[in-house]
Each structure stands twice: as C-alpha cells, then as structure tokens.
Chains A and B, each alone.
Chain A
Amino acid sequence: MSESDKTLSARRAFLQGSLAAVGGVAAGKAIAGGEGTPDPAITEIQPWRSTLGPGVDEVAYGQPSPFEAHVKRRNVPWLTAETKSSINFTPLHQLDGIITPNGLCFERHHSGVAEIDPSLHRLMVHGLVERELVFTLDDLMRFPRENHVYFMECTANSGMEWRGPQLNGVQYTHGMIHNVMYTGIPLRLILAEAGIKPDGKWLLAEGGDAAAMTRSIPMEKALDDCLVAFAQNGEALRPENGYPLRLVLPGWEGNMWLKWLRRLEVGDQPWHHREETSKYTDLMADGTARRFTWVMDAKSVITNPSPQAPITHGPGAMVLTGLAWSGHGTIPRVDVTLDGGKNWHLARIDGPSLNKSLHRFYFDFVWDGGEMLLQSRAHDSTGYVQPTKAALREFRGENSVYHNNGIQTWHVNQSGEVENVEIS
C-alpha cells in the first residue's frame, strides 16, 4: 500500500459517515471552483485495489466481466413453437465497432444445435462431377485458405415489422445479423478438386444436423466468392454457428449459409427444396411470389440510442451510432436525421469499410433535450439508397415476411426514452 493510499485508508471511517448522509448524489458531478462532495469511487479504497485478484488459469477460456452479464442473445418466445426450431437475436445496442463476438452471434436452428465430433465429420462432393469425393477435416486443412469479414443476415431480419412497429428494441427488430472474420477454403477449389461437368449449373448444399437443411445455389455464385469456413474470429466455429464446417455466401441471405456442412451435390437444375419454396420466397400483394431472392439489399439502423438503450445523461454532447451494410458491396455513405426526415446529415463512418461487411457509423451532436425522430439511411457502392418502409410496401405489400430493409424510426422523448414508431 502506498503512502497516499494509507492516508486515504486512515480517513475512511470519517468519510464514510459524511458520504452516507448525502448518498453520493452530488458525487462525480462537474463542479466549478473545486467545491462539492468528493466521489467515493475515488476517495474510498475499492476491494479490487486492496486485495489480490485471481491468478492466471483461474478461467482457462476467458469470459466477459460479471458486470456485463446482461449483454446476451435474447429470444422472442412467441415467435416459434419451441426453442429447438427457433431464433435468437444479437444485442446490437450493447456492441460497438464492426465485429460480433462469437458468443453473441445470433442463432437460428431448425432442429437444435448439432454437436458434431469432428473426427466423424465428412464432406462429400458428388453428382455431375468427374470424381465423386469424400474429404475429412484433415484433408480440407491442406487446401489454400482465405480470411474475410462478412455480415450474415437472416432473410427474416425485421420481418416482424412489415405491418408496422411491433418489437421495442433494436436487438429484436435488427438483431438477426452478425459480422465475423471467417477463415475458410474457397468453395471453387473444393469443386475443382472434384471437377464440375459442363452441365453442372447448380449446387445442393446439405447440413449434417437433424434437419439436414438443404439449399440450391447457382454455380456462378459457388465459383465466385463462397467459402467453406472452419473458423470465425480466429477460433473454430461455434457449434451453434456450424462447427466444424459452414458455407459462407457473402452478401446472400443467411438461410443459404449451410451450417454443419456435410454434402455438396452438383446438378443441372435447382432442387426447389423446402427452404426455397415453402419458406424464403417472398409473397407479393397480388398473390404471386418471388423466389431465389438471394441478395440482402442495403440497410442500416441506429443502435444507440434505441428502445433498449435510452439517453440517460440528459441534454448536451452525445454520440449517436449505428450499423450499415449491403449484400451488393460497401457502404460509402450513411445519412441520419433527427427530425423524422425533414433534414438529413452525413454520418461519420469509422473503422474498416469492407465488401459485404458491417460498417460502423457515428453522428456526434449536442442534444437540446427536445423530442427527436431518429432515422438512418444507407447508400451502397452501387448507388442504391435504403428505402422507406412505405416505399417497400408499394412494391411488395405487407405479406413478404423476408427482405425488409426499410428505414427504421426511433422516437426519443424529452426524458430520453426511445420507442419504435412509424411516421408520415
């Protein structure tokens, strides 16, 4: 203990008496002229200052601070019949930067998490190929690898909001998305190993879970930028994200990123399986339906403030922040409005601007304490501008379920509380 700490310690009893009386209310406030009640966070010796902490190896795999226990994925129980065929949501309002921590990546399972023994996992490539092959994970580790950061968005993200605002929280309205760095093998190298026959135009990918999920993928995409990934953010995929192998289809709807990947079949036409007919087709107002709507269009949302993250500091300097992304490329520009779209301002994009990755934006301003109607609007590298929900409804009606990339509105009241609303 240093000399000054000893002095503080000696005065502790006296201070405790006086501080208890004021309850620490005035403590820590900016005070002109050096007057006011001292902050006990400074003047009192805290336990972590006066006792030794745990040594190395106490927690062999590090975990967040216990004070961050509220930062977690959350489910919306009424959405689905049971949790083994369900989805939960990434807590976007409690994260910053562009990378989603592995343990907070949202989950979507059709028959629960497959807990696969990697020594018993195989990848089969067959169909219209020169050589029908089986790979072990050891075999796959001998292919050249690449690293890429990509967002992965469930096609149904914001799907509950088509008819109007329902869920009061950005985690629930926009949390079916995550953004991690994948390490994987270019899919085209694995297909080249088998040798695609000239009429091999489609690829069926199948997972090894109890749902044996399948999707048909056009060969142009399979040979373009897809990966067979084995790692996310530098470590093995998490079981809930497809351990030991998953497909990565940059910019395309999350349902196609087959987890627990065990089989790739080359064919001359699509399979029209359940996830591309009954589900993941977009019903229009006239009763027709779009199919094969693979690309996720440009989208953005303000993560803070938002209903789960109100303004608690009162008027003055503040940070507005959010995320923007596009399945067509990068995000060169994000606009934000504080007055419901009467006037817009350029937001500041900070951090890496990567192809088909989340982008982090900020708008630093002085809040006057008045009501606000907050929106963000993404521009992508193709020139596409994120539309209003009203504009989307003009094309599609209200029964599409999927691909809702409309502009989100948050109402902020004078207390700093935030509500999910729609405006004229």
Chain B
Amino acid sequence: MLRFLSLFIATLVFTFHVQANPLGLGRTALPVELAAWNTDVRPDGMGLPEGSGNAADGEVIFAEKCAACHGDFAEGVDRWPALAGGQGSLQDARPLKTLGSYWPYLSTSWDYIYRTMPFDAPASLGADETYAIVAYLLFANDLIDDASFVLNRENLADIVLPNTEFFRDDDRATTEYPVLTDACMDNCKPSVTITKRATGVGVTPDQADN
C-alpha cells in the first residue's frame, strides 16, 4: 500500500513539474466581473472610460468634494496634501511635490481620483466628474489657461507633465553599492563630537507610560 501511495505521489509531482498543467482551480472571470474591478488607468490611456469634463466644471466639483482637505485652489489644508504649486521647488530645503511640480504622468491622478477619492466616499465619482476635476488640477497648476478646455479619453494621454523626464530608474547598484563598503574597526577617527540632538526638537510623542 505504501509503495502504491509513493508511486502515486511521485506521479503527481512528475505531472505537476514536468507538464506544468494547471491545477484546475478557480473559475473563469465573467466579462461583467472584469468590468466591475478592472478600472485602473495607465499613462498610455489604457483603461480610460468614455467621458469628458472641463476645468470650469471641475472647479465647482472640486470646491464641493475635494476642497475641504485640498483647499479651494488645491493648495492643501493642514497636513492634507497640496495638489498644485511648488513648481521650481524640487531643489529647495522644503520641496513641494504636486501634479504641476513633481508627478510624472497625468493618468496617475485620473486613476487615483476615480478609484479612491473623495477620501470619505471612495469610488463615488463618475467618469465625467473625474475628467473635470483633473482638468481643474491642470488649470490650478497653470498647465492650461483656458477653463473651457475639455479633457477626455482621446486627449488625456497626450498631455505631458513638466517633470516627466526627471525620473530615472533605481541606480543604487552602480552608484552606491560599490562604494558603501567602509568597515574600519580600529582607530577609525581621532575625535568625535555630537553635532545634532533630538532633545529640543520637541516632536517626540509623550512617553509617560513607556
């Protein structure tokens, strides 16, 4: 019996590894199910639905559904993120990273807003509303100056954001790893002084019950 069992198991393993047959698990996704969940968008426009909106309409929607956190002009409120401004600030001590100053692709904002925003009512915006809000963000960032400009499925992927070309793939393996090998063990430096302290910065939470 044992011999039969091990032969049986060996056959299973052989079948699995060599023939790579699927296990026959799961079921076929229905078109309506795919449509319900596959709502993501890429920079080339793949995934954008039919629809359109202009910045003037977007300003009204933004004021109603977005401005409580992001400000009327997308300048940000409290610690909620600014979505406009910051152009030319990326080398500053306090850079402001927004759609106009930093983000590489316009599709990203369409995708994120449509699938995730508003924060307290996610995925509640229609396609026309989303096109309008994204058009308003272009307007708020001075990337278009005509509030009647209509953003739609056909022209969104053609709009190039200012900072697109300033992204590059991870280069640590060539720039950093070959250099970061210092492992001095003895008499590595003649003196040491404290240059900065956390005490006085005053941002550590109360730790009374540590």
Binding site for B on A (CB under 8 A): 70, 74-81, 85, 110-111, 124-126, 131-135, 139-140, 142-143, 160, 164-169, 172, 189, 192-195, 204, 206, 210-212, 214, 262-263, 265, 267, 269, 271-274, 277-278, 281, 283, 285-295, 297, 307-308, 335, 339-344, 373, 377, 379, 382-387, 391, 395, 398-399, 411, 419-424
Q: Which residues of A contact B18 (CB under 8 A)?
A: none
B169 nearest CB neighbor, chain A only: A292
* Complex CA distance for A373 and B119, rounded to whole angstroms: 45
Cross-interface CB contact of B183 among A133, A307, A335, A382, cutoff 8 Å: A335
Q: Total A-B pairs in contact (CB under 8 Å)?
A: 245
List 30 contacting pairs A-B, 8 Å CB cutoff, sorted by A.
A139-B25, A143-B25, A166-B201, A169-B207, A192-B22, A193-B23, A206-B37, A263-B38, A271-B40, A272-B105, A273-B108, A274-B108, A274-B116, A277-B104, A283-B95, A288-B168, A289-B167, A289-B168, A293-B172, A339-B192, A342-B188, A343-B186, A343-B187, A344-B183, A385-B180, A411-B194, A411-B197, A419-B199, A420-B197, A422-B194
Query: Is B150 engaged at the interface, CB distance under 8 Å to the other chain?
Result: no
Query: Is B159 engaged at the interface, CB distance under 8 Å to the other chain?
Result: no
Chain B: how many interface residues by the 8 Å CB criterion? 77
Q: Which of B82-114 contact A (CB under 8 A)?
A: 90-91, 93, 95, 97, 102-105, 107-109, 111-112
* Complex CA distance for A278 and B106, rounded to whole angstroms: 11
Q: Which residues of B contact A423 (CB under 8 A)?
A: 192-195
A84 nearest CB neighbor, chain B only: B119
Q: Which of B169-205 contact A (CB under 8 A)?
A: 169-172, 175-177, 180-199, 201, 203-205
Binding site for A on B (CB under 8 A): 20, 22-23, 25-29, 33-34, 37-38, 40-44, 69, 78-80, 90-91, 93, 95, 97, 102-105, 107-109, 111-112, 115-116, 119, 122-123, 166-172, 175-177, 180-199, 201, 203-205, 207, 209-210
User: Is the Cβ of A385 less than 8 Å from the Cβ of B172?
Assistant: no
Task: Given A195-B22, A278-B102, decide whether A287 and B192 contact each other with a Cβ distance below 8 A.
Answer: no
User: Is the Cβ of B205 less than 8 Å from the Cβ of A126?
Assistant: no
User: Is the Cβ of B122 less than 8 Å from the Cβ of A76?
Assistant: no
